[in-house]
């Protein structure tokens, strides 16, 4: 048995070429001939970008100033407040042991004085 060889028909060749040329014509129709720029719109865009750059720069400067301000201690502390902080009593911790459990009790004596 011989294998049948397929012959390419003339119509197939012509229709394939036709499809290729149709694609080329379509691509040519979609090509933009020229682009016209509006100088007023371009200037407005550049001005808007410049304002945005300045705003970003100002935000960064303010953030840097705030970071510096946070690191510095307050200048308005009174000596009395510092003495009160030193006078605060440490909490007393007591432990109670039994055969089955261990209970820890913490007693804080200066609990309500900070609310003044």
- pLDDT digit of tens for each residue in the chain (116 aa)? 455 567 888 888 878 888 888 888 887 777 777 788 888 888 999 999 999 999 999 999 999 988 887 765 556 656 666 666 666 677 788 888 888 888 888 888 776 655 55
Angle subtended at Cα 33 by Cα 29 and Cα 39, rounded to the nearest 5 degrees: 145
What pLDDT score does 61 carry? 93
Alpha-carbon separation of residue 99 from 95, 96, 102, 103 (angstroms):
13, 10, 8, 11
Cα 55 to Cα 48: distance, rounded to the nearest angstrom: 11
What pLDDT score does 1 carry? 47
What pLDDT score does 95 carry? 86
Domain residues of the chain, as ranges? 33-73
């Amino acid at each position: 048995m011989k294998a049948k060889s397929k012959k390419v028909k003339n119509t197939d060749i012509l229709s394939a070429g036709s499809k290729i040329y149709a694609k080329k014509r379509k691509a040519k129709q979609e090509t933009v001939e020229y682009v016209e720029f509006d100088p007023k719109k371009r200037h407005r865009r550049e001005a808007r970008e410049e304002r945005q750059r300045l705003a970003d720069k100002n935000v960064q400067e303010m953030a840097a100033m705030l970071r510096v301000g946070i690191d510095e201690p307050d200048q308005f502390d009174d000596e009395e407040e510092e003495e009160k902080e030193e006078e605060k009593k440490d909490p007393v911790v007591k432990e109670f042991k039994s055969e089955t459990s261990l209970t820890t009790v913490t007693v804080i004596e200066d609990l309500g004085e900070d609310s003044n």
